[in-house]
């Protein structure tokens, strides 16, 4: 069983080197290959990766085609039975790849699998999620009431908000920062590859939904932890830009699922009002207390 680790680089030479180094250092119990795709970085010289890591496979893209297209270039060259999409800003601290691959083979009916991801300071990143729905968006308004429920019940009801990442569980979709799946699963996907319709953001959600359409579930593995740097800007103006982009992607995914139906328009109204209200409340708090927003 060979794992093909696909890493996409765009102008992050030193961070990507850290990811590769940690992968080589900690992956001991399973055969693997590292395929690095450079997405036409304007300042990085991709050949420098080969100088530093001669054992990797380097693919030089002629364009920055985004996260999905870059990963597909890597997958096209992959020889492994298992594919791991690994963000360039992740750092392994243990043999997470072997642990995840073993569980993927044991767990029947799993499409995509992820592991516990944390920020460098140890804070949890919410990587096990449910598909959005009108019901779940309305439940989100009842967070204080849901705290009265036992932890396991409320965490399963609203994975995105209440799950502490402390037990293994099935879920609807998982983070693309560490996304593992069987290579042969792509034979059931359109064009025998990952959907490339999104340049950045929302791809992991879309792919997991497409796996779901074929009868596969996503899985969160709490047994191993990977650090994900994920340095998103905290500036309010940039947060608003990111929020609008994420909303756009969420609505496109809902359109893919439901079409331009009454359900789609009602969902769009609820989600947009909720997220924009939440954003402006955060801005008000930021201005009032001068605290760094997270």
User: Each residue of 36-47: pLDDT tens digit?
Assistant: 999 999 998 999
Q: What percent of the chain has pLDDT over 70?
A: 94
In the predicted structure, residue 110 carries a pLDDT above the cut 80 = yes
* pLDDT mean over 284-292: 65
Predicted TM-score of the model (pTM): 0.91
pLDDT of amino acid 133 = 94
Residue among 143, 177, 178 at smallest CA distance from 158 = 143
In the predicted structure, residue 273 carries a pLDDT above the cut 50 = yes
Alpha-carbon span 68 to 236, nearest angstrom: 28
What backbone torsions phi and psi does residue 226 show, to the nearest 5 degrees? -125, 140
In the predicted structure, residue 30 carries a pLDDT above the cut 90 = yes
pLDDT of amino acid 65 = 86
Give the pair of three-digit tokens for residue 51. Answer: 């100088």
Give the pair of three-digit tokens for residue 49. Answer: 């990766």
* pLDDT mean over 191-205: 91
Chain segment 142-182, per-residue pLDDT in tens = 888 888 899 999 999 888 778 999 999 999 999 999 999 99
- The pLDDT-based confidence of 278 (bands split at 50, 70, 90) is confident
Q: For domain 3-228, give its CATH number from 1.20.120.1200, 3.90.550.10, 3.90.1300.10, 3.40.630.10.
A: 3.90.550.10
In the predicted structure, residue 216 carries a pLDDT above the cut 90 = yes
Chain segment 74-94, per-residue pLDDT in tens = 999 999 999 999 999 999 999
pLDDT of amino acid 236 = 60
- The pLDDT-based confidence of 286 (bands split at 50, 70, 90) is low
In the predicted structure, residue 132 carries a pLDDT above the cut 90 = yes
SS3 track for the chain: CCEEEEEEECCCHHHHHHHHHHHHHHCCCCCEEEEEEECCCCCCCCHHHHHHCCCCEEEECCCCCHHHHHHHHHHHCCCCCEEEEECCCEEECCCHHHHHHHHHHHCCCEEEEEEEEECCCCCEECCEECCCCHHHHHHHCCHHHHCCCCHHHHHHHCHHHHCCCCCCEEECEECCCEEEEEHHHHHHCHHHCCCCCCCCCCHHHHHHHHHHHCCCEEEEEEEEEEEECCCCCCCHHHHHHHHHHHHHHHHHHHHHHHCCCHHHHHHHHHHHHHHHHHHHHHHHHHHHHCCCCC
- The pLDDT-based confidence of 233 (bands split at 50, 70, 90) is very low
Chain segment 238-265, per-residue pLDDT in tens = 767 777 888 999 999 999 999 999 999 9
């Amino acid at each position: 069983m060979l794992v093909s680790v696909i890493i996409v680089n765009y102008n992050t030479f030193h961070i990507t080197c850290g990811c590769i180094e940690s992968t080589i250092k900690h992956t001991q119990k399973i055969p693997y290959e590292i395929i690095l795709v450079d997405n036409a970085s304007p300042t990085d010289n991709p050949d420098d990766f080969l100088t530093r890591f001669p054992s990797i496979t380097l693919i030089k893209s002629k364009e920055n085609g985004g996260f999905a297209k870059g990963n597909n270039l890597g997958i096209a060259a992959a020889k492994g039975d298992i594919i791991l999409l690994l963000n360039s800003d992740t750092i392994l601290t243990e043999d997470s790849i072997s642990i995840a691959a073993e569980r993927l083979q044991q767990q029947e009916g799993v499409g995509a699998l992820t592991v516990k991801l944390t920020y460098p300071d140890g804070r949890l990143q919410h990587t096990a999620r449910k598909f959005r729905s009108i019901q779940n968006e309305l439940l989100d308004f009842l967070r204080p009431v849901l705290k009265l429920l036992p932890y396991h019940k409320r965490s399963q009801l609203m994975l995105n908000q209440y799950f502490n990442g402390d037990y293994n569980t099935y879920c609807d979709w998982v983070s693309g920062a560490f996304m593992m799946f069987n290579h042969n699963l792509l034979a059931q996907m359109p064009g025998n590859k990952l959907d490339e319709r999104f340049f950045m953001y929302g791809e992991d959600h879309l792919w997991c939904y497409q796996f779901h359409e074929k009868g596969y579930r996503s899985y969160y593995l709490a047994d191993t932890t990977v650090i994900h740097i994920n340095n998103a800007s905290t500036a309010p103006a940039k947060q608003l830009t990111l929020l609008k982009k994420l909303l756009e992607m969420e609505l496109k995914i809902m359109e893919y699922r439901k079409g331009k139906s009454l359900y789609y328009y009602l969902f769009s109204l609820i989600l947009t009002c909720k997220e924009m209200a939440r954003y402006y409340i955060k801005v008000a708090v930021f201005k009032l207390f001068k605290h760094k927003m997270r």
